[in-house]
Structure 1
Amino acid sequence: MYEDSVPDTVRQFMAERDWQQFHTPENLAKSISIEAAELLECFQWGDADLESAKDELADVLTYCMLLADKLELDPDTIILEKLAKTREKYPVDKARGTSVKYDQL
């Protein structure tokens, strides 16, 4: 469907509308929070409105991608780095099957 990557397609979309001027790290972080709340609202009464959830999740992911781009961070790299830190906090032999915080393992 798209010849360019998702980030390139989003960058082009924003550039065509000259919206980058509004994309400060602060504004993008606010937008992530706002869209995450809208995503949560899809599940407010138990049964998910899947179509609305899909749209809101796309908004959250888009703003996250835009913030990473603005901060010149590679999403794959920062996710893998954070996963490595979390792996140390939650070793499999202690964390498997439990949801307690790492300092309670």
Structure 2
Amino acid sequence: MNLDAITRRLHAIRDRNDWQRFHSPKNLAMAASVEMAELVEIFQWLNEDESRRLPAEALAHAGQEVGDILMYLVLLCGELGIDMEQALLTKLADNERRFAR
């Protein structure tokens, strides 16, 4: 995954539609949260086994919601100047330390 190329593509869409004025960190965080709720809704009322065996249509829908969430997170990182890859690697290393057996 090339985050720089993805960010450029997202910014091109944003700029063509004059959306930058709406892309404050607060708004992007809230939008990501809304998309996460839409992902959670797919699993609502399913038992554990059903949640692991989504029908094709539900699985495709889940993928769309994951894509929405990731796009908002990429935009949020750009607005805040967060290096997404470094943030992930730092958190991963922290979890490895904290949860090592």
TM-score range relative to shorter protein: 0.7 to 0.9
Which moves more between the two structures, 39-48 or 72-81?
Answer: 39-48
Alpha-carbon deviations, 1:38-85, whole Å to 9, x = none?
011112232431121111111100001110010011110000011111
Report runs of 4+ in structure 1 exceeding 6 Å deviation.
none
* Bigger helix fraction: 2
| CA distance in structure 2 between the aligned counterparts of 1:51 and 1:86, rounded to whole angstroms | 30
Unpaired segments ≥5 residues, structure 1: 94-105
Unpaired segments ≥5 residues, structure 2: none
Larger radius of gyration: 1
The within-5 A match list for 1:36-75 is 36-46=36-46, 47=50, 48=54, 49-75=58-84
Higher RCO by CA contacts (8 Å cutoff, separation 6 or greater): 2
Give the TM-score taking structure 1 as reference length: 0.79
Q: 1:19 maps to which residue?
A: 19
Q: 1:100 maps to which residue?
A: none
Aligned-pair identity in percent equals 37
Give the TM-score taking structure 2 as reference length: 0.82
Q: Give 3-state SS (helix, strand or coil) of 2:43's partner.
A: coil
RMSD between superposed Cα atoms in Å:
1.4
